[in-house]
C-alpha cells in the first residue's frame, strides 16, 4: 500500500488545486481552491476556455460578478470529478467587512444552486479575521457552510469554534516558513522535522483542544511543504494537499501510522478559553507569527484577485 492510500485510512484527503485535470488520478474526497490557485489554473491553455466562456456569456457584467461566476465555473468542473465538497473563496478584499462577505457568499451559493449544485457540496472560504469569523457565524445560521482559512493560531481556532463554523484550515507550511526565516542561520532542519515542526505542533494544539472539548468543527491541515508534515498529521480530520505532494505520497511505500489520537486528547489537561472581540484582537496581536502571516496572506490573495480582475477585463497582468 502506498502512503496516499494508507493516509486515507486515517484522514480525509483533499486536493489543493484549481486545476481539475489533476484530481482524478488521486481520488480525493474534497477539493480546495483559492484566488492564487485559480489565477494559476486559468492561465493554463487547458483551462483557459473557462475564462473565455465566462466572458462571452456574461459580457458587460460587473467585475465582482464575473469573478464569482468564474470561481463557480471552476468549482462545478471540480465537483464533476470529486464525490465531496469544494471550497470557494470570497474575495479577500472583503476580509475586514463582515456584511459584504456575507452578501458575496450568498451570491456564490446562489450561483452554484443555479447550476444544480446542492448547498452541502460547497464550503465558502473566508479569512479568519474577526470580521470573517462573524460573517461565517451568520452564514452557518443560514445553512451555508464555511471554511475559515489563513488560520495560524489557537485564538483564531477557538473563535471559529465559538462561531460553530463547519471547518478550519490551519496553515502548516506558512507557520513553518515564518519560524525558519525568523531563526535564520540558527535553524537546524532535522531538529524541526515531523512532530517537531512548528506548523505541525500548531495543528496538534488545535486538534487536542477541539477533541478535548468535543468541538464539532472539522480541522483540515493545509499549506504543506513536505511529506513529513503530512505524515506527522495522519489522523487529522482532513488534510488538503497539492498535486505534487499527492503524487509523492502515491509513489512512496514507506510505512505510515496514525499520528493523532482524538481519544488521548480527551485525557489531556487543557484549559478552556473563550474570546470576545477585544480579547481575540489582543491574543492575535500577541502572536507575532499569526499576526504577520494573516496580514501577508490577505495581501497575497488581494493581489491575485486584482490580477483576476485584470484578466476578466481583458487587461493581462
Catalytic residue annotation: 125
Q: Which residues contact 103 (CB under 8 A, 6 or more apart)?
A: none
Comparing C-alpha atoms, which of 168, 93, 87, 98 is closest to residue 130?
98
Cα 52 from Cα 296, distance rounded (Å): 31
Q: 239 near 10, Cβ under 8 Å?
A: no
- Assign 46 to helix, strand or coil: coil
In the three-class reduction of DSSP (H, G, I as helix; E, B as strand; rest coil), residue 223 is classed as coil
Measured between its terminal Cα atoms, the distance across the chain in Å is 44
Cα–Cα dist 32/56, whole Å:
26
Helix axes 154-162, 277-286, angle to 10 degrees: 160
Alpha carbon separation from 200 to 56, 106, 158, 256, 290 (Å, rounded): 45, 33, 18, 16, 14
How are the residues of the chain apportioned to helix, strand and coil, as percentages rounded to the nearest 5?
55, 10, 30
Please answer whether residues 133 and 98 qualify as being in contact, where contact means their C-beta atoms are separated by less than 8 angstroms. no
Q: Which residues of 58-82 are buried (b: 16+ CB within 10 A; e: fewer)?
A: eeeeeebebbbbbbbbbbbbbbebb
Nearest alpha carbon to residue 157 among 133, 177, 126, 138? 133
Amino acid at each position: 500500500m502506498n502512503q496516499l492510500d494508507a493516509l486515507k485510512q486515517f484522514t480525509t484527503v483533499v486536493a489543493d488545486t484549481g486545476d481539475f485535470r489533476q484530481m482524478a488520478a488521486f481520488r480525493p474526497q474534497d477539493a480546495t481552491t483559492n484566488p492564487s490557485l485559480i489565477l494559476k489554473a486559468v492561465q493554463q491553455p487547458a483551462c483557459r476556455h473557462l475564462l473565455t466562456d465566462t466572458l462571452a456569456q456574461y459580457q458587460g457584467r460587473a467585475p465582482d460578478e464575473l469573478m464569482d461566476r468564474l470561481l463557480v465555473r471552476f468549482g462545478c468542473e471540480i465537483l464533476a470529478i470529486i464525490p465531496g465538497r469544494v471550497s470557494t473563496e470570497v474575495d479577500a478584499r472583503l476580509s475586514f467587512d463582515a456584511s459584504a462577505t456575507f452578501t458575496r457568499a450568498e451570491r456564490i451559493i446562489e450561483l452554484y444552486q443555479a447550476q444544480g449544485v446542492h448547498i452541502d457540496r460547497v464550503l465558502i472560504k473566508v479569512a479568519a479575521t474577526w470580521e470573517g469569523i462573524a460573517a461565517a457565524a451568520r452564514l452557518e445560521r443560514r445553512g451555508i457552510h464555511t471554511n475559515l482559512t489563513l488560520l495560524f493560531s489557537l485564538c483564531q481556532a477557538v473563535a471559529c469554534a465559538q462561531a460553530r463554523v463547519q471547518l478550519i484550515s490551519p496553515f502548516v507550511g506558512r507557520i513553518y516558513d515564518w519560524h525558519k526565516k525568523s531563526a535564520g542561520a540558527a535553524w537546524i532542519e532535522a531538529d524541526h522535522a515531523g512532530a517537531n515542526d512548528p506548523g505541525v505542533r500548531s495543528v496538534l494544539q488545535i486538534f487536542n483542544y477541539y477533541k478535548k472539548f468535543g468541538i464539532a468543527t472539522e480541522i483540515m491541515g493545509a499549506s504543506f511543504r513536505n511529506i513529513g508534515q503530512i505524515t506527522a498529521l495522519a489522523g487529522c480530520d482532513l488534510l488538503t494537499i497539492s498535486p505534487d505532494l499527492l503524487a509523492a505520497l502515491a509513489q512512496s511505500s514507506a510505512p505510515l501510522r496514525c499520528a493523532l489520537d482524538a481519544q488521548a486528547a480527551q485525557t489531556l489537561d487543557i484549559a478552556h478559553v473563550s474570546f470576545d472581540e477585544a480579547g481575540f484582537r489582543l491574543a492575535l496581536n500577541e502572536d507575532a507569527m499569526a499576526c504577520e502571516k494573516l496580514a501577508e496572506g490577505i495581501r497575497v490573495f488581494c493581489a491575485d484577485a486584482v490580477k483576476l480582475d485584470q484578466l476578466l477585463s481583458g487587461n493581462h497582468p
